[in-house]
Chain A
Amino acid sequence: MARLFEPLIGIACALAAWEIAARVAGNATLVPSPATVWNALVAMRGSELPRDIAASIVHLVVGYAAGAALGLVLALVAGSSKWFAAVIDPFAEFLRPISPIAWIPLAILMFGVGGGVPVFLIFYAALFPIFVGTLDGIRRVDPTLVNAGRALGASRATLALRVIFPATLPSIFAGARLSLGVAWMALVAGEIVGGDAGIGWRILWYQEFFQMDRVLAAILIVGALGLAADTLLQALQRRVLRWLPASEGTR
């Protein structure tokens, strides 16, 4: 019971600070109070919010799945062919410092303002950490395990699928957790700057009409969704990697 107490105090403090700031500002547009934001949330829930959230989720899922899939495939090929790895490693190193954000104008050029921009950004954001993480994992697979598989009569395909892939899963998940954070930021930025749907885009929409209480509500939703996505991934990781000894963190 005490364990629940302290976080509640922290949240209460934060809410109190917020309320004080709102009172001090005295202007509901400048600093919406917690109460007005709550009302805005309720109003939004009945109208656009579900649609916006759905649109954002679609953007995220499509982009992330595509980026992760490509990252996995490329890493697998690079893992088994030293020549391919020699070619693609420098390209990956070259592109890695260019954050997805930098691609926004070009993405707008390529896809026009719309869903394509955030999806492309997320695809790009997911691709590199997953590629690098998976390739790193593949390279670090214990060769004894591979030898054990060979001595048990596994073909190359079986080795890849039933030995190397499971052994790489922890690294894949590490890359996935990392890329989810970046992808989420790319989603919001993409929707704000170049999108036409989704919760990020909706923030701008509300701002156009100076509905700052809704703006703040939407901002909080963005945070909540981001947290939910990471929590889900963490839960998935714990389930898939339940064979890891407790010390090897699934944190």
Chain B
Amino acid sequence: MNPIVELKHVGKVYVSARDGEAIEALANIDFTIRRGEFLTVVGPSGCGKSTLLSLIAGFNAPTSGDVLFQGHPITAPGPERGVMFQDYALFPWRTVAGNIEFGPQARGVDAAHTRERVRKLIEMVGLRGFEHRYPHELSGGMRQRCALARMLANDPTMWLMDEPLAAVDLQTRIILQDELLRMWGDGIGTAGDRPTVVFVTHGIDEAVLLADRVLVLGRRPGRIKEVVDVALPRPRTALRNGPEVARLTAQVWELIHDEAVQAINEEAPL
């Protein structure tokens, strides 16, 4: 096994700004992410899956335990751990091209190389013709692809994705899933060649379809319930509506079901 991220006895406690109460978002997380794997993270509301992702991204530090990236503790975000946010977080004042070139620009890559890279990425995500549009002029699916291209511009070793397909309609989601797999290198080459993906989602079928392993979290406090191996052959696109995916989906749902119901009942009004 080739570890890229190690979570050792990780815990995260938040202090609620509203009433000063301490909320234990994560507790006792011991887990190792393998290089080149596609890991999905599922769980009911409040299980801390977004928190987990933000720890790996480096936006927060754990309250206890260590989070290591390639053997070293994570202290800050970095371009080698690219992030895709739930609401895309595109810079509204930059065009599509402007957003995509942000990473290389920030890292000091020269203009010629940057331009070339941006052009290739725009081609790859299918946004040709929209380079000079602003985010508010784009549809959800287009913004998604722009956000993906922006992350890929830095050629990151890890792709950290927080419910990236939550806000698009079902048809677009299926198309984007296929594109995502393709860009990741589904079924091509070996694990060493591919980026490592950590993909947080609410959609269990999506989680099972895309992943090598599914990390199932429980809530209150967020902890690892189980790790489900998805030993299905790749490429996965053909298996989308097949029996194996359905069986595994049911298996994972079984694990989450009770707590999911609990979560709905406890949902506080916004």
Contact = CB atoms under 8 A, between A and B. Distances in A.
Interface stretch (B10-18, B86-94, B113-121, B239-247): B86-94
Contact of A151 (B82, B93, B107, B135): B82
Contact of B136 (A152, A166, A244): A244
Interface stretch (B73-81, B173-181, B206-214): B73-81
Contacts of B103: 152-153
B91 A150 contact: no
B40 interface: no
Contacts of A166: 91, 93-94
Interface string A134-163: 000000001011011111111100100011
Contact of B92 (A149, A154, A158, A243): A243
B136 A245 contact: yes
A167 B89 CA distance: 12
Q: Interface SS of chain B: helix, strand, loop or mixed?
A: loop
A113 interface: no
Contacts of B102: 149, 152, 154, 162
Interface residues of A, number: 22
A150 B93 CA distance: 17
Contacts, number: 73
A204 interface: no
Contact of B79 (A147, A153, A163): A153
Given A145-B89, A167-B93, A243-B92, A152 B106 contact: yes
B164 to A, nearest CB: 13
A147 B59 contact: yes
A148 B93 contact: no
Q: Which of A145, A153, A154, A167 has the most CB of B within 10 A?
A: A153
A85 interface: no
B85 A153 contact: no
A241 to B, nearest CB: 8
A152 B155 CA distance: 10
Q: Which of B57, B77, B87, B103 has the most CB of A within 10 A?
A: B77
Nearest to B133: A243
A243 B93 contact: yes
Contacts of B106: 149, 152-155, 158, 162
B134 interface: yes
Given A149-B106, A152-B154, A163 B76 contact: no
Nearest to B82: A151
Given A158-B106, A245-B136, A150 B89 contact: no
A154 B82 CA distance: 12
Interface in B98-131: 102-103, 105-107
A145 B77 CA distance: 13
